[in-house]
Amino acid sequence: MVSEFAAERGLTFTILLDEQALSAITYQVHGIPTSFFIDGGGIIRARYGGALDEATIDQYVRSLLQ
């Protein structure tokens, strides 16, 4: 089912299927979509729940690059 969804939409990135919700619990995902902004050292610097527009993404990325 997930692979069909990805194929229909031309998605080529890895999709995590977390059947036991362990990642959701660990990373406090309370809704979908949830985006994480990770710095160059692999540390989660921000988490955003909900849809993102380009301006908001730009704001988060700029803060990580400073």
pLDDT at residue 17 is higher than 90: no
**Peptide bond preceding 33: is omega within 30 degrees of 0, i.e. cis?**
yes
What CA–CA distance (Å, rounded) separates 39 from 27?
Answer: 16
pLDDT at residue 8 is higher than 90: yes
More confident residue, 17 or 51: 51
- List the beta bridge partners of residue 38: 44
Residue 58 confidence class, pLDDT cut points 50, 70, 90:
very high
What CA–CA distance (Å, rounded) separates 35 from 33?
Answer: 7
- Mean pLDDT across the chain, nearest whole number? 91
> Looking at residue 13, what DSSP letter applies?
S
